[in-house]
Structure 1
Amino acid sequence: MPEGHTLHRFALLHHRQFAGHRVAVSSPQGRFATEAAVVDGRIFESAEAHGKHLFHHYGDVTVHVHLGLYGTFSERELPVEPPQGQVRMRLVGPGHWTDLRGPTACRLLGETELDILRARLGPDPLRADAEPDRAWAKITKSRTSIAALLMDQSVLAGVGNVYRAEVLFRHHIPPLRTGRDLTRAEWELIWADLVLLMADGVRVGRIDTVRPEHLPEATGRAPRVDRHGGEVYVYRRAGAPCLICGTPVAMAELVSRNLYWCPGCQPA
């Protein structure tokens, strides 16, 4: 599932391409046709993201998109071409067009519905209006593991499996430590690091978490080969030696997702 930096990249791109322009909105697949007709021909006012949610604002209504596991946007310059595959939503502006396929959610929200959705989401490290103390207030009272809490979008919005595993490794925090056993200093390190790592993800379009001294060019090791791209410490490296201490990276299932950590660097 795309993590928060991906949605923020789409928000920046769509805002740059469409904001301030009258746009054509349609649903070649048909599943979003009624809602598309409401915003078709309107001024696209702005685009923004909160966690893994993308919002296209058209005055008093908003198109809400959650990509889920299989959703994706394809971006093109004009002229428009015939739809390929199951296009849930097509957005056409003065110079560009984009097709949305396979999202978990693509729906129209009024202002009240949008407020309700926002209220369910935790602070997003990529948003200027984020309030990290809201997340800390939930974490410090919880018996749930910090690894599970970081993936709970009502606690912290936008963090997924990769950022979760990597930020805990970078600060030597055992993933099964309960939230109430995390120190305030540790939480502040986690939050500050997520702000930096995720902002870098927005900039480069992939997740890189390895510090310069541990990169392939510094250590002479082979670069990572993975469809997700980027250099990481533990994510999807189960059984491989830790890049710092050499201990085999561990993996276990936690809340229906694979959790990765180094038993040497993150002792229980």
Structure 2
Amino acid sequence: MTDHRIQGKTVLIAGGAKNLGGLLARDFARQGARGVAIHYNSDAARGEAEATAEAVRAAGADAHLFQSDLTSAAAMEQLFQDAKQALGRIDIAVNTVGKVLKKPMTQISEAEFDAMDAVNNKTAFFFLKEAGIHLADNGKVCTLVTSLLGAFTPFYSSYAGTKAPVEHYTRAAAKEFGERGISVTAIGPGPMDTPFFYPAEGADAVAYHKTAAALSPFSKTGLTDIEDIVPWVRFLVSDGWWMTGQTILVNGGYTTR
């Protein structure tokens, strides 16, 4: 069954090859999107990007693949221009790009900080900037952040800290783009059961996170499952359009504010 507010729409997903981004691409196609532009970062993700594109086409939508490192303003501008040319217009833009580092502040090098800042902060800012330029009127934008924005915890300073500015970018963009009917939101999932999560965590930390949410006993992994985030993104870019300028933590009771 398709979603009437997504049917016929076009979607750009940054980081859309795999994990949550790949599942979102498939879901938008199943909900009746006309076309999906799927961005991926490196050759290592090409196979997964092609599999996602194949699944999108099988669901009845056009799929277009774009590879680039989005940590420059020029690359982000090019992505939006290319996606708009391929799709005809962009109605919905979702940014799932992120980079995690778990490390004491006293051990984080300048190079590590700069890399985190480029992926989590700079990329998010210029994604929103280009969305404001290129989205069709009444478009929808959603950025993935982290539930650690509601946590009081060590070791994630560079991760949560470089995601934190997205809250203000979201508020500012909502005010600036609202006159065109564009809503702007951010979603902060809890620790998700994806390959993005496990490399940064030791066995003890993984065990803790799998029991930390109030609803952990009812999750198949104890963590936030990507299948539980997809409906929230879908809602915010469709029937939930009246929600704008907000960052919502969707985590089964892992953190709150």
TM-score calculated relative to the size of structure 2:
0.28
Structure with the greater alpha carbon radius of gyration:
1
Query: What is the TM-score of this pair, normalised by structure 1?
Result: 0.27
Give the structure with the higher percent strand: 1
Higher relative helix content: 2
